[in-house]
Amino acid sequence: MDRNEALAIVQSKLKQSRYEHTIRVMETAIELAKKYNVHVKKAELAAIFHDYAKYRPKEEMRRWIESTYLPKDLLQYHHELWHGPVGALLVEREVGIEDREILEAIHFHTTGRIHMTTLDKVVYLADYIEPGRKFPGVELVRESAWEDLDRACWMAARNTISFLMSKNQPIFPDTFHAYNDLTKKVR
């Protein structure tokens, strides 16, 4: 599938501001893919579709989780965590993308996971550092992104966990698994 076809599909599913975020994630993911020798077309497609399910109604997402292979423990956590896994499912069913690496990068783009692939990291990080993001500490992660992919992902995971803890929010196990696993890779 080419870029313009993919973009036209997601544009119909997203609000304009979310579509513009998607374009910036795509551009950032392509640059990271070149830097870290990831298949550029896979990074481009995964980035374009990463928020595909962002505006699905909560009850529809709940039904997809209940009725498919998706992990049921998602239902015990905030519905903000559902759009990645449900997005991967729907991008396969509705768009027809079958590449497991692309689908997994979409699935895990919010939380990360243990043993993230380089493609997973590129999409996770591009979503975190795209130029429209204003998180506290994002500037340091942006700088690291061009030097050390593992370190930058580790910083993003650490910031996300710190932020959630400061708000007394529960943390999904995959978010901790990503952080713990990346900690072993940073000095």
Binding mask 142-161 for ligand DGI (x = CB under 6 A): ------------------x-
Q: Is 173 helix (H, G, I), strand (E, B) or coil?
A: helix
175 is a contact residue toward ligand DGI (CB under 6 A): yes
Binding mask 41-80 for ligand DGI (x = CB under 6 A): ----------x--x----------------------xx-x
Residues 65 to 84 in contact with Fe ion, rule: CB under 5 A: none
Q: Which of 71, 94, 170, 183 binds ligand DGI (CB under 6 A)?
A: 170
DSSP category for residue 133: -
44 is a contact residue toward Fe ion (CB under 5 A): no
Joined tokens for residue 47: 């980035």
Residue 45 C-beta-side C-alpha neighbours within 13 Å: 20
Question: Are 172 and 81 contacting, i.e. CB atoms less than 8 angstroms apart?
Answer: yes
127 is a contact residue toward Fe ion (CB under 5 A): yes
Residues in the chain, overall count: 187
Joined tokens for residue 87: 């997005």
Q: How many CB atoms lie within 10 A of CB 77?
A: 17
Binding residues (CB under 6 A) for ligand DGI: these are 51, 54, 77-78, 80-81, 109-111, 127, 160, 164, 169-172, 175
